[in-house]
């Protein structure tokens, strides 16, 4: 099958979660004999190039990264013009030579752009729904107020999962309501023009139903995965710890995240302080970068845990793998909108147990392995209690470590995900309209 994959933007240097999903889906579908062409925005690529057997067609898109990095603000609507206009042009040119049979979308603006081309409506149309655009806008807008504590998400009790947070009508201001409503309506239009939807978790299927009710097309839950050929246990954990600069007796925590408020890193830093006050010292290494990195470092100093908390910056694949292998626990302290949590299964594939908050899709990933790997809440105290629980049960933790990789191999591989996407596409044969 000839498949065109459409996305607003990809950065092949930082490889965020949605980008990893796109790339791995494409690579595995290509392995299964499908011809794959990708249309995506990029700030530093243009024209056409290839990655493996997948052909990429780039349009220039500059999302004003410096201002967003400095302020933590959501992308403005004016900055979205490129993915609303250019993908249709690229698709029209590609369709003349590639003769696509199916199209897969990953974001609403580029989807609407391509769906405005008559040729697209004759194809099998599948939408990969990562997260509601309007709810991302809501959470990012609230996060812009953050000055030292995580933002409150409407309908989310302190320390609770985010399953109950409500739409933006709780948030005042006509400009905000306009921005929220416009994003929701644009995304809804894109979804209604597709013949099937893929989500990464039952949580995201439920959130999709609340934000965009009344859809007629099927929704397929196809979990994310880990590339087990690239994420694997270290041959020598002691050597991995030596390279990380951690003493053998130190209980090492790590997290690798985009440093934005909804990821919950402030609560994790506060949990380190709580553990120290209880006489249980740990070392926390935080990988990644983002707009609140400076404030997180300030918070660690203010809480007098600056010597216990380190920041590694962005990590390459080998560095990430080494950090996971060296860690006693990888922590995923998310506050809101965690559609799946790729970093959790990547750490598990490296043989390292993961402790996560009861937010979004995290419990779906961790509970079948051991329900005690899910904290009681997302607040600092609950995270500290979860860490302390496993510090006091290191023998049990090692037994879980021995099961982590096989657990991922049995449940969360990209090959299995690609097979299910292929089946979703084949089920649409003869159903396009």
Q: What is the CATH number of the domain that holds 280?
A: 3.40.50.2000
Count structural domains, the chain. Answer: 2
Considering the domain architecture, whether residues 287 and 393 belong to the same structural domain is answered as yes
| Those residues with Cβ within 8 angstroms of residue 11's Cβ, 6 or more apart along the chain or in another chain | 19, 42, 43
Considering the domain architecture, whether residues 75 and 58 belong to the same structural domain is answered as yes
- Which tokens is 316 given? 């390459």
CB 347 within 8 A of CB 330: yes
Using the CB atoms, write b or e for 380-412: b if 16+ within 10 Å: bbbbbbbbbbbbeeeeebeebbeebbebbeeeb
Task: Of 51, 53, 21, 56, give the one whose Cα is nearest residue 40.
Answer: 56
Does residue 432 sit within a domain? no
Considering the domain architecture, whether residues 210 and 276 belong to the same structural domain is answered as no
Report pTM.
Answer: 0.89
The Cβ-side half-sphere exposure at 387, using a 13 Å CA radius, reads 34
The confidence score (pLDDT) of residue 429 equals 63
Does residue 137 sit within a domain? yes
The confidence score (pLDDT) of residue 14 equals 74
Residue ranges of the chain whose pLDDT lies below 50? 66-74, 77-78, 145-170, 431-432
Range of the domain at 329: 237-411
Considering the domain architecture, whether residues 177 and 141 belong to the same structural domain is answered as yes
Does residue 230 sit within a domain? no
Does residue 433 sit within a domain? no
Task: Of 7, 51, 54, 6, give the one whose Cα is nearest residue 34.
Answer: 54
The confidence score (pLDDT) of residue 67 equals 44
Give residue-wise pLDDT tens across range 295-346. 999 999 999 999 999 999 999 889 999 999 999 999 999 999 999 999 999 9
The confidence score (pLDDT) of residue 140 equals 79
Residue 213: count other Cβ atoms within 10 Å of its Cβ.
8
């Amino acid at each position: 099958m000839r498949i065109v994959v459409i996305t607003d933007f990809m950065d092949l240097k930082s490889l965020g979660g949605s980008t990893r999903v796109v790339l791995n889906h494409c690579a595995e579908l290509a392995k299964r004999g499908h011809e794959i062409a990708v249309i995506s925005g990029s700030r530093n690529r243009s024209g056409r190039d290839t990655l493996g057997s997948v052909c990429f067609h780039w349009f220039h898109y500059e999302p004003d990264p410096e201002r967003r990095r400095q302020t933590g603000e959501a992308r403005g609507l004016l900055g979205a013009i490129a993915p609303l206009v250019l993908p249709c042009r690229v698709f029209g040119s590609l369709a003349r030579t590639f003769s696509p049979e199916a199209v897969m979308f990953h974001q609403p603006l580029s989807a609407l752009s391509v769906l405005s081309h008559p040729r697209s409506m004759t194809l099998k149309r599948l939408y990969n729904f990562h997260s509601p655009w309007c709810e991302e806008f809501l959470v990012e807008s609230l996060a812009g107020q953050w000055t030292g504590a995580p933002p409150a998400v409407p309908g989310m009790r302190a320390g609770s999962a985010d399953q109950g947070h409500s739409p933006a009508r709780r948030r005042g201001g006509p400009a905000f309501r306009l921005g929220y409503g416009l994003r929701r309506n644009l995304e809804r239009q894109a979804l209604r023009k597709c013949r099937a939807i893929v989500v990464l978790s039952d949580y995201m299927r439920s959130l999709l139903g609340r934000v965009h009710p009344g859809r007629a097309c099927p929704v397929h839950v196809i979990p994310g995965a880990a590339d087990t050929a690239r994420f694997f246990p270290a041959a020598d954990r002691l050597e991995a710890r030596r390279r990380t600069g951690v003493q053998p007796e130190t209980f090492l925590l790590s997290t690798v995240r985009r440093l934005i408020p909804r990821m919950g890193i402030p609560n994790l830093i506060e949990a380190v302080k709580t553990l120290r006050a209880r006489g249980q010292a740990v070392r926390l290494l935080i990988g990644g970068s983002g707009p609140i990195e400076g404030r997180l470092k300030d918070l660690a100093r203010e809480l007098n845990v600056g010597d216990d908390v380190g920041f590694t910056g962005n990590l390459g694949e080998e560095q990430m793998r080494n950090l996971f292998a060296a860690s006693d626990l990888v922590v995923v302290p998310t506050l809101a909108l965690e559609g799946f949590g790729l970093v959790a299964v990547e750490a598990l594939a490296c043989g390292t147990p993961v402790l996560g908050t009861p937010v979004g899709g995290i419990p779906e990933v961790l509970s079948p392995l051991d329900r005690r790997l899910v904290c009681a809440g997302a607040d600092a105290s609950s995270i500290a209690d979860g860490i302390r629980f496993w510090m006091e049960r290191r023998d049990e933790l090692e037994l879980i470590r021995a099961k982590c990789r096989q657990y991922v191999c049995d449940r969360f591989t990209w090959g299995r995900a690609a097979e299910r996407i292929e089946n979703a596409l084949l089920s649409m044969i003869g159903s396009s309209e």
